[in-house]
Structure 1
Amino acid sequence: MYWYEYCPEHIESKYQLLVFKGNQPFLPLTDYYHDCLGRIDKSSATSYLNCLLPFFKWLEEESNFQGKQVQWNDSEEKIRVAVEDYLIHETNCKIRDKESFRIVKLTNKSPNTISRFLSALKSFYKSMIRLKQYLYNNPLIDGQAILHQYKEELKGVREVKPRMPSIAGTEQPIVHRRLTDSYFKIINEEWHPQIIDDIDLPYQVYQAGKKANWSQRDIVIARMLFETGARATEIIELTVGDYRKRKSHQEVITFNKGSHGKKIKFLRFSKETVKHLFHYIETEFSYTTKSFQIEFGGLFELRFLV
């Protein structure tokens, strides 16, 4: 029932994308998408929109508050009840009351888009309030938590007195910690990496890079990532000096997670990658500029990322 189309190039419109409800334009989601552009990137805006479309369809077909269908622009209370029902019945989440908010527990039947959906819905109502299309407070924000945090920051050690300035040294410093203001808080969200068990994956990536006309630098980085299993930053931040510190021409020294930048481990790669590395150094890494000369084997320790 809810779907969208990009505006054809030959049509002049202030909208790049139109959301439809049936065969009629649905302006709230259309305006939301375009309000997002410039605030977040286009792919994120589209991802948020895709998370919202099933919810709006569910509101139309399944929502119920005291015997009546819930509209997207209803009061905070009605929207919260609708979202809670949607999380329980459509996404197989478990909901528990907690003070002024709700705790959301994912189950093994819950999709991995719950967090994105809640973020998208919070973002949608922020936009609608900003565009003066929603007349209530954001139903996805726990106003009581914000008020409580504000009061705690004002409370001083002296009874019924405001906090002294930090320079006075009489108050315990406030630990600045970002607390979520969400009304629905997920407690057991954990990302599990998925292993891609495909021996042809490197070949496919190399072929895609060839079609995209990768530079020698990109080829070296991709090959080292596949052959060493190192993190991207451990590869990208390598220097010529890191390569020269190892006796083997197939090894390079680098830092490790938790080593605070100290080079404590080495990576080993294939002879084919060595050929690409030397080709990169000779063709893209040795040249003269107006300010200085770069020469392989010189005193400079220059990043691959230049």
Structure 2
Amino acid sequence: MADYIVRATAADNQIRAFAAVTREMAEEARRVHGTSPVATAALGRLLSAGAMMGVMMKGENDLLTLQIRGDGPIKGITVTADSHGRVKGYVGEPGVMLPANAKGKLDVSGAVGKGFLNVIKDMGLKEPYAGQTALQTGEIAEDLTYYFAVSEQVPSSVGLGVLMNHDNTVRQAGGFIIQLMPFTDEAVIDALEKKISEMASVTSMLDGGDTPEQILEKLLGDFGLEINEKYPVSYYCNCSHERVEKAIISIGKKDIQEMIDDGKPIEVNCHFCNKSYTFDVPELREMLKKSK
């Protein structure tokens, strides 16, 4: 099943919902970064959330950044997404290994630790929107549920999951976000809370063959579910030789001159896709002419 997100409404627009399958995206992130199973699970969850939150944005050029800054051994996670389902991300320590948690599952919470979740939305305004909340569990889904309630005042339920194969490749990945509008009827809220509490995990539903549409049908079928749109999802990095060159130019003449004085080529590595870009001394001299 190719990765995609569906957007839906239910209960006469009192509920809006998103569900995604993101196995290929999570596997590409694992391949690019060589992440351990627990790092793959943590990064895959935040990538899935980023993809769904990205398509919530309206503008063609809107950008979302999710940052988890925790004191755990994974040393933080960063994900960026646009409004077209294109997502990229990385973890601070991709090789982190931890024993299973008390439930016998990958210990994402232990890897993340205590800290903060930052959500930054660049929507073309003078200043980007930035919200920060304390991590509640480090499991990521619960932390995002808390963020939506506190920072955006939108009651939400977030479900995220990554299931690994025995060879440490990604078997399943995906998630859902369900949000209540301000005018939602109390009876609808109570019935929805009961339904969510009875649901199987995201990965068990995906592993059982459910599509994002079928996951939402299980959650919201009793509320008059309407599937509205479908978006492709991909792991996509837009770095290039030209973009890296512009970034070097932006650091200023003094630092570029120091690189030239060293007399050696420099190598710049992209955090998101691990590509490396090399610039020799003549190229640095040309950049010096363009810098301020």
TM-score for the superposition, normalised by structure 2: 0.24
Higher relative contact order at CA 8 Å, sep ≥6: structure 1 or structure 2? 2
- Which of the pair has more CA radius of gyration? 1
Greater strand percent: which structure? Answer: 2
Q: Structure 1 length normalisation: TM-score?
A: 0.24
